[in-house]
Structure 1
Amino acid sequence: MKGIVTLAFMILTSSFLGAQAPTINSINPLSNSVGKFQKFEALVDLSASFSNPYDYDQVALSGVFVAPSGKQDTLDGFYMQDYSLNTSNGSLSANGSGGFRIRFSPTETGTWTFNLKVKTAAGESVVRSGSFECVDSDNRGFIRKNTTNYLAFDNGEAYIPVGQNVCWQNGNAYLDYKKWLGKMGAAKANFMRLWLAHWGLGLEWRNGNVGGNGFEGLKKYRQNNAYYIDWMLEECASQGIYMMFCINHHGQVSSNVNPNWSENPYNAANGGPCAQTWNFFDLDAAKNLHKNRLRYIVARWGYSSNVMSWELFNEVSFTDQFANASVRNAVRTWHDEMGQYLKKLDPRKHLVTTSYGGDEDPELWRLPSMDFTQNHLYADVENVEKAVAGKGLDNLSAFGKPTYGGEFGISVGGEGLSTIDPQGIHIHNTMWASAFSGALGAAATWWWDSYVEPRNLYPLFTPLSNTLAKVPLLQGNFKPASARTLGGGGGELSISPVADWGQATDNKIIVDDTGAVTPANARLSKFLYGSQWNTQLRNPPTFEVFFANGGKFKVQTGSSKGQTPSVAIYLDDKLVKDHPNAAVNTVYSIDVPPGLHRIKVDNLGTDWMGISAYQIEGVAVSPHAVYAVRAANGAMAAGWIHNSKYNWRHVREKGEPTVVVNGAVSVNELQNGLYKVSFYNCTTGEIITTFKGLNVQNGTLNFGVPDFLWDLAFVAEKDDTTVPTLEIVLDLSINIYPNPVNIGGALQIDTRNLPAGEYRIDVFNISGQLVQQKFISSFGQVESIATAGLTPGGYLLRLSQGERATVVRFVAQ
């Protein structure tokens, strides 16, 4: 304890002692042998004159670490309070009075040496040296960008994120995150996102803030929160989860959107340097304060390979005056400066990104300091997956760097989602669509605490993780594929608006005689602006549509509106219907005769009308959609096929849709030759069927799709050694009845065609949760499953014996 006592004494008495050169008294490594890519940590006992141990202008411990190869890494040390963690109630008890440490992650096996020094206003200490051994470990290393659209560990393995936001705790940080991360890890989720929010695990906030419980103002970093983050990164390592580390959130610098500016220590009213919110971005004093915090963050947690990336801001477009050109430029300049600063500070060069909430600055995304783009998308639309996947495709095309869906959801809150989508259909759909859109991983859902946890939706992660593990997205340098659906009958085309308030939109949508939509990822506004207010935002959409036999055009309004809006529908430039004072959650439609027609939708009322969807009935459109990627060499493709009506709104309002029969998919830009296509059940992750010997000519693979209710995943591989066959992998034969089955009754399973033997029966709900299990010995009889514990809806029954299995669907009512 000598160093701690000395440090405390020097802090308290520095004003009386006068300036004196600092001294490093001793260096005490926690271990002299460290695994590759794992944490070396040493306690540093030093004597120095300063009043704030977190202020690097007053006292700066630094180290130079030399690898066996001679390569050098330079990094900061940091001051911390140590604690003991009570794992029963999650409370912390301080150990001693705090001290300096240095943390480092070695990247080479062998003997490492290091030199430490400390600098204050009085000068620098004499350098003290040390060494440690680095041995092999199973750690895959840090997450890197490369020449593909995907990320990779240092050892070359792909990192494809599947997970969710878990940005702050509800109660005790240890108890909440132990539960959430444990369930995520068990479900094979490998991604989480953390905010440094003052109501969560923030480091720096207003001194004495009511409810802040421990904040001390600028350059004073809250140590109990920092310790919980220490623990969390260790827990992430044990669960195989990687963290997007969000350093700032928009409310800190906003007086309008989730405003926290009145409590921010940067605010001049609280003694900070910023007279206005935007001074956070343009004032040197504010920048220097922020850089000090970045130094602490990198020094304390930059060692961790479980930090996926640093995120400079959550939804920075919601900070004050972002629409103002000079403020927008200052925000961009700030990001570039801080991004470059992080890369200079961080010896392990973690990836850097940021995020927007609606309005974006494309020039910021083009900065080399931003390693990947990110989108956050919320929409009250039935096929939110189309919007999220489409935005990712737009970003890939526009900026030529990896992209990620950092947040998505339906804008009703977690409790509302538990009512309108209790099984997480929109989460399932959006994760699968985004994962096969060319994005670097599956988009991350919000409302972890009020929706995913109480509804136990963690099993949604497992089948996607299992399926993605079968596709070499990184090694094959996969790109978005040109793919479309074929056959499956006609139906209703639904186009969901995705553009937020004031965002640029398309105003001309073309639907040809094949049902193809141009532009493919059409951006329509969630708002139909009125003729009196916000007129500068008006851009009424026009649809050019071919109707073979006539049909209907429908406008589905959203759940909110302004003052007295209208919905006006024009057919071939003639006003057919105008609905003044239009209502929310209502469908307005017109009949359309056969042929090519132009349809315009406008708002002749006072203020805006929310729009949920534009629906075109009677066009040649498949009932299913496909999202696909292909290998750069054209020898492999993979994707997700979805029954478009199997979405949260249709299932809630109309029940399960009809099964897609006789569906087909076409994938272009592949090598010619013979292929095999394997299909996977997206609820269980198990293979269903493999088609072999499919011929690709002129670069196009056309294949039929097994009949399906909700969705299928597929992997197509060039396989010139096969002959055309249909391989049924799940070959056990059973019959179940009655179907549907009444809850409280019994589902009968006829096993009389099965060979005698031991079998297992698993029953899953459509979220993939196991709800019932039974082991049977088949001797040619009929078995029964009780349904008393089931709730109304669809279920999957799997009968298995070793590697052989079959899956059948039934409905409980």
Structure 2
Amino acid sequence: MPIPLPPINTPYAMRTATVIGEVRGLEGAKRRVMSEIRVPLGGTYDNPFDPDDVTLDLVVTPPEGEAYTVPGFLGRDYLRSLQEGKEVLTPAGSPDWRVRWTPSRAGAHKLVLRLKDRTKTVEKPLTATVADGDGPGFARLSPRDSRYFETEDGKAYFPLGANVAWGGPRGTFDYEDWFSRYGAIGANYSRLWLSPDWTTFALERAGKREEGLGMGQFDLGNAWRIDQVLDLAGRNGMRLMLCIDSFNILRNRDLNNYWEKTPHNTDNGGPLRIWSDFWTSAEMERLYKAKLRYLVARYGARPETFSWEFWNEADLVRDFDPVRVQAWHKKMGGWLLQNDPYAHPITTSFANTSGFREIDTSSELDYIQTHHYGSGDLVRSVAAQIGRKSTWNKAHYIGEVGADAAGPRAEDDPQGMQIHDPLWVSIATGASGGASPWWWDNYIAPKDLYSVFQAAAKFTKDVDWPGENFRIVTPTFAYQTKPAAKRRVDLRFENGPKSWERADYNRPRVVTVSREGKVTGQTPVPGLLHGRVNHPDLHNPVRFKVDLPRTTRFEVRVAGVSGYGGATLRVELDGAPVMTRVFEDKDVAGHEDIHTYDGVYGFDVTPGKHTIMVENLGDDWMEASFRFANLVERGQPPLEAWGVLGNGMALVWARVEGRTWGRVNVEKRPPNPAPPTMMGLRGLPAGHWRTEIWDTYRGETMTATTTIVGNDGRVKIPLPTVMKDVAIKLIREGR
């Protein structure tokens, strides 16, 4: 049962007459530019972070429109220094009260400062003449097309960058290095974590109340750090998502748990005896709304604050209940909608790539994120989710993506293919922003992969996403010179669904493959093979019934094994065992996913009809995909592409068929280049179109020509030999 916190005696308590002194900070106020108003005041309160104890508000009446309220906050300035490689903060003056205000209109404004403490309410009327400003203002959902974002000046905002969630021992000094590199190559977006309390920017930290720590108070030093990083973002042309909480604080076991140390826990002075009470506790609701008020007050007026994210991967909390979590999001989202005068977009996220539609589509959340790791073909996984969630009628982008949630796989992928390919396919499928990678500090920075973003930033720079009314198109390809014989390609079963829930794919499956490579039966094939001990109800062996025209190699690619007991791969051919591999969990104390067994396991199968059964006889899961080598004959060129067509622009990204992350970086078997082809598109308005072929690594156009589209709306574009991938941009001339 949650318990209410006792009255908090903070180091910021005050016992004076309730009064507002002379304020400063309104001089030179400009439209779409933040002003910071310093407010000397006196009052009677114990906790300046508790709106039930004391509030300072600025009530604004603009020249036109309704009055609105901007909350104030207690802050403190600091000086920072590096001491033996670690950032150290030193207070610079005493804590003081401030109001940050960013007017949206120019002209004369009537203002009232309102101070309410436990004894009385006092007001101080003010005026401000707001001059025109040339800033772009806040980024919000576009009124022209709510699938996309735009700034107040009407320009498209396409978030493009990486997660940079926390710093190392150097704290904000790390961000000087990182953000300057991102800004220099045209990235405009990143994401900070404000939780758990070990992160650089944690506001709620366990500790002694008299030192300003514990639930109900906020760490003013870390709050100052957030301001410094927002300043850096602004100077480098970036906007930041602020992720308020992460699953770790409500997770008491398994990987990355932090419940034992979190300030929410009653053992650490918090209100929660058990993690699951977070979602329904009245006391926790009161404390959370106080935190939201502080966030809005301190960072809401900053145009560099792009959006609020309630949770990082909320479904990883212990005892996750979608019904309770949805109710909580609706309540807190509703509060933010009522109390954020700047209407920042609101979102949340889940570890489950499929998301939770009932939560994601709640009206209190403005846009959807997807997190995805671990599939052998990241491109198809990303494209599938963008296409699937486009039917949810909200803005959506890939908020986290990577080859492996357990680590960056930097030695496997030193060139950043796991960044490059999801980014480009997200552009070509009409996502609301670029797919955003993780591993900023141990992959992107040390491998100097910033240039991966630069080409995409150049390609998308002048795209008016909300104005195009983009829709999906499917490019076609034909050889410029038809080869004498058809080519042979693999039949692969990749990117299968992965879950620990009862589902059809978590039962035994039977799939039939004809001599021509046609697949029928119980698809999709699962991406996880569950063992027989930890989840016996999910045990899901796969039987392939095949009719092979020639000797064919069959392979199982293993891409991870459970750290909760390991797995055992067993393969039978026509009822007789042909391969058994034991993937032992040697670290019984730890539970991280095991990758020492990652690789390809296979054997040759003679022509004719056979039954191949693949089964996991071990304790827990293994991640697997399957390949019949060179089984299928194809007459089409070896290219696959994704594209969107708008009112006056088309964007296409094409890659060599089968050039997946797993095949290139794990199997080390990249496919051959694609010979010159003709790419076809249909549905274009008649007229002259500038056609640009882009190098997606150098960020340069390789060729630029003018193409005439007739009344049939069709166009054919010659493409050169494609070594890896290529992007195509068509721009209607004279529009």
Shorter-chain TM-score bucket reads 0.7 to 0.9
1:39–1:587 CA distance, 2 compared to 1 (3 A) = same
SS in 2 for 1:388: helix
- What letter matches 2:101 in structure 1? F
In the alignment, is residue 108 of structure 1 matched against residue 109 of structure 2? Answer: no
Identity score, percent: 25
Q: Deviations over 1:736-755 (max 9, x none)?
A: xxxxxxxxxxxxxxxxxxxx
Task: Give ranges in structure 1 of 5+ residues lacking alignment.
Answer: 1-7, 722-813
1:589–1:699 CA distance, 2 compared to 1 (3 A) = farther
Pairs aligned (count): 689
> Aligned runs of 1:333-352 on 2, under 5 Å?
333-352=327-346
| d(CA) in 2 for partners of 1:54, 1:9 | 10
Displacement of 1:553: 4.4
Q: Greater CA deviation, 367-376 or 90-99?
A: 90-99
Show the counterpart of 2:207.
Answer: 207
1:132–1:509 CA distance, 2 compared to 1 (3 A) = farther
In the alignment, is residue 396 of structure 1 matched against residue 390 of structure 2? Answer: yes
> Aligned runs of 1:398-797 on 2, under 5 Å?
399-411=392-404, 417-486=409-478, 489-497=487-495, 499-502=497-500, 525-531=526-532, 533-539=534-540, 551-560=552-561, 562-563=565-566, 565-568=568-571, 575=575, 579-581=579-581, 584=597, 585-589=599-603, 591=605, 602-603=614-615, 605-616=617-628, 617-620=630-633, 622-631=637-646, 633=647, 636-644=649-657, 646-652=659-665, 654=668, 657-671=671-685, 677-690=691-704, 692-693=706-707, 701-717=715-731
Displacement of 1:117: 0.6
| d(CA) in 1 for partners of 2:30, 2:723 | 48
1:411–1:620 CA distance, 2 compared to 1 (3 A) = same
| d(CA) in 2 for partners of 1:10, 1:321 | 36
SS in 2 for 1:135: coil
Show the counterpart of 1:252.
Answer: 249
1:334–1:13 CA distance, 2 compared to 1 (3 A) = closer
| d(CA) in 1 for partners of 2:450, 2:614 | 42
Q: Deviations over 1:216-257 (max 9, x none)?
A: 101211111111111211211111111011000110111124
> Aligned runs of 1:53-132 on 2, under 5 Å?
53-85=48-80, 91-132=88-129
Q: Deviations over 1:162-214 (max 9, x none)?
A: 110110010122211111101110111111000012122110121159xxx97
| d(CA) in 1 for partners of 2:429, 2:13 | 58
| d(CA) in 2 for partners of 1:470, 1:495 | 38
Q: Greater CA deviation, 256-265 or 466-475?
A: 466-475
| d(CA) in 2 for partners of 1:543, 1:428 | 34
Q: Greater CA deviation, 451-460 or 653-662?
A: 653-662
| d(CA) in 2 for partners of 1:358, 1:548 | 39
Displacement of 1:428: 1.1
1:575–1:664 CA distance, 2 compared to 1 (3 A) = farther
1:592–1:145 CA distance, 2 compared to 1 (3 A) = farther
In the alignment, is residue 332 of structure 1 matched against residue 318 of structure 2? Answer: no
Q: Deviations over 1:526-550 (max 9, x none)?
A: 3112355523324556779998878
| d(CA) in 2 for partners of 1:70, 1:720 | 39
Displacement of 1:676: 5.2
1:425–1:518 CA distance, 2 compared to 1 (3 A) = farther
> Are the equivalent residues in 1 in contact too, given 2:20–2:115 (CA < 8 A)?
yes
Show the counterpart of 2:6.
Answer: none
SS in 2 for 1:566: strand
SS in 1 for 2:77: strand
1:564–1:202 CA distance, 2 compared to 1 (3 A) = closer
> Are the equivalent residues in 1 in contact too, given 2:542–2:615 (CA < 8 A)?
no
- What letter matches 1:75 in structure 2? V
Runs of 4+ off more than 6 Å: 507-519, 542-550, 597-600
SS in 1 for 2:410: helix
Task: Give ranges in structure 2 of 5+ residues lacking alignment.
Answer: 1-8, 584-596
TM-score, scaled to structure 1:
0.77
In the alignment, is residue 265 of structure 1 matched against residue 259 of structure 2? Answer: no
> Are the equivalent residues in 1 in contact too, given 2:543–2:613 (CA < 8 A)?
yes
| d(CA) in 1 for partners of 2:543, 2:115 | 67
Q: Greater CA deviation, 652-661 or 93-102?
A: 652-661
Show the counterpart of 1:321.
Answer: 319
| d(CA) in 1 for partners of 2:212, 2:611 | 58
Select the residue among 217, 220, 227 that pairs with 2:224: 227
CA RMSD of aligned residues (A): 3.5
Show the counterpart of 1:758.
Answer: none
1:678–1:523 CA distance, 2 compared to 1 (3 A) = farther
- What letter matches 1:249 in structure 2? S
| d(CA) in 2 for partners of 1:283, 1:377 | 31
Select the residue among 298, 306, 309 that pairs with 2:307: 309
SS in 1 for 2:446: helix
Displacement of 1:564: 5.1
Displacement of 1:332: 1.1
| d(CA) in 1 for partners of 2:549, 2:62 | 71
| d(CA) in 2 for partners of 1:461, 1:472 | 19
| d(CA) in 2 for partners of 1:410, 1:185 | 25
1:148–1:477 CA distance, 2 compared to 1 (3 A) = farther
| d(CA) in 2 for partners of 1:42, 1:308 | 22
Q: Greater CA deviation, 447-456 or 132-141?
A: 132-141
In the alignment, is residue 377 of structure 1 matched against residue 354 of structure 2? Answer: no
Show the counterpart of 1:25.
Answer: 21
Show the counterpart of 2:588.
Answer: none
In the alignment, is residue 138 of structure 1 matched against residue 152 of structure 2? Answer: no
> Are the equivalent residues in 2 in contact too, given 1:533–1:607 (CA < 8 A)?
yes
1:274–1:12 CA distance, 2 compared to 1 (3 A) = closer
| d(CA) in 2 for partners of 1:337, 1:170 | 35
SS in 2 for 1:54: coil
| d(CA) in 2 for partners of 1:478, 1:508 | 39
> Are the equivalent residues in 1 in contact too, given 2:59–2:112 (CA < 8 A)?
yes
1:517–1:166 CA distance, 2 compared to 1 (3 A) = farther
Select the residue among 351, 359, 362 that pairs with 2:357: 362
Displacement of 1:560: 1.9
| d(CA) in 2 for partners of 1:552, 1:697 | 49
Displacement of 1:502: 1.6
